[in-house]
Homo-oligomer: A and B are copies of this chain.
Amino acid sequence: MPHFVTECTENIREQAQLPALFARVNQLLADSGLFPLGGIRSRAHWVDTWQMADGKHDYAFVHMTLKIGSGRRPEELQPVMEQLFACIKAHFAALMAQRYLALSLAVEELHPVLNFKQNNVHALFR
């Protein structure tokens, strides 16, 4: 945890520069102090078949879900999520100015109990 899951339309595969976004997002989440670096996993799911709105223009979208462990307090999360979305908007600002684009980010809390993990990466950062 956390998981930063990105669905991105194929028509912006290059322009979206997701590897650069993921580097920024992982750093921001780790720097927040809320999440251990060794558990942060950002990834893309490319979308080659879609229709946005009426489908009549070359629309693109990036929908992002941040899955986190349950139980963090809203007042802790709110400022970090605002920083995260500000980072995302800055990353996409040039592209947003050039073409049709929709960005969205939503947080999902993982099940508080039925939730299991094993991770040998954490040991690197201790």
Interchain CB contact under 8 A, A85 and B116: yes
A53: chain B residues within 8 A (beta carbon): 26, 37-41, 121, 124-125
| Contact of A117 with B103 at beta-carbon distance under 8 Å, contacts A48-B44, A51-B23, A55-B26 already known | yes
Interface residue ranges of A46-66 to B (CB < 8 Å): 46-55, 57, 59, 61, 63
Interface residue ranges of A3-28 to B (CB < 8 Å): 3, 5, 7, 9, 18-19, 22-23, 26
> Looking at the complex, which one of B43, B74, B104, B105 makes contact with A50 (CB distance below 8 Å)?
B43
Provide 16 A-B residue pairs closer than 8 Å at the C-beta atoms, listed in order of the A residue: A3-B63, A5-B7, A9-B43, A22-B51, A23-B51, A26-B51, A40-B52, A43-B47, A43-B50, A44-B48, A44-B49, A45-B47, A53-B125, A101-B119, A102-B117, A102-B118
